[in-house]
Amino acid sequence: MLAGPLAVPGSAAHDGSVPAELRVAFQRFLAIKLFGGLHLAWRWHTPEGLAVQILAAAGSVAMCFRRTAQLGVFIWFNLIGLQLVRTWPYTLNHFILEELILLVLLAFPVRFEAESGREPLQELQLLWVTLLSVWFFAGVQKIGHGHYLNGESMALPLLAGDGSLGRGLRMGLSRIHSLLGAAQLVSGGAALDLVARIYCVGLSWLVIIAEVGLPLLALVPRTRRAATLGLGLAQCSVGLLSGEIDFAILGLGLIGLGSARHISARYALLSCAALFFALLPAALRF
């Protein structure tokens, strides 16, 4: 399996095994990240929200310990399933990805008692493929959306977006206009000039090509490392520009399965980032 197309880049030894600590660290990171992401979607002061928050906290704690790990995974599988039903068909991609990951963890429990040993590679391969699948099908879905093919997906935030995506797009276009010596874009409903239209269509198609192409290249041994690096950079860009921090941190956690170096430190850092971005909105309100 190590030499096969689904091998997780760089994680396995020559015997096709991986450090058990890698899966344990990932599950503990996931437990923290899940709570950080879901607690923003349910309010404490409603009976339903309070019940979900209590279950979420119990599930996250349970996932971190050997005797209760599978109970915690089962609790979270149902909570994320509830979120999928609650927000369908406008469910965010990272909730779908989380449900797939939890399904894999239910089918292949993490063996906490073997933290210092080795485990087969197949379970990590399944987790790796879940990330590639979500990226790939998100790109395929965008091909069917006319507003991605004609650049409208970038033009609307460029003209009127107040978030990080709109500001980032306007900054990029301003740099291009400066290089070309063209007039600056005037926001607030102004028509896009030729440079801006090419800019929007090009970026939209770049997103589609990256989401479809990078997962496929990650399955090819010769291009796997470069594609994995591209996915990592893309996850960071998506998180910073679109504000989908949950998806970005989860994606980086899955990409981190491809390396057995500095396991605990890497996932501790990602866990801190997940908590920071989860608590930041509440801190800004005070």
Query: What digits encode the pLDDT tens for the residues 108-124?
Result: 888 776 566 666 677 77
Query: What tokens does 1 get?
Result: 């399996």
- In the block, which residue shows the tokens 């709570």? 35
Is 29 in the same domain as 88?
Answer: yes
In a domain, 96, yes or no: yes
In angstroms, the first-to-last Cα distance of the chain is: 52
Q: Residue 1 has what pLDDT?
A: 36
Q: In which domain, by residue range, is 234 found?
A: 140-243
Number of domains in the chain: 2
pLDDT, mean of residues 28-33: 92
In a domain, 36, yes or no: yes
Query: What tokens does 6 get?
Result: 């689904």
Residue 179 has pLDDT above 60, yes or no: yes
Is 73 in the same domain as 55?
Answer: yes
0.85 exceeded by the pTM?
no
69 vs 123, higher pLDDT: 69
Contact (Cβ atoms closer than 8 angstroms) between residue 12 and residue 121: yes
In a domain, 6, yes or no: no
Residue 89 has pLDDT above 70, yes or no: yes
Is 102 in the same domain as 170?
Answer: no
In a domain, 57, yes or no: yes
Contact (Cβ atoms closer than 8 angstroms) between residue 110 and residue 70: no
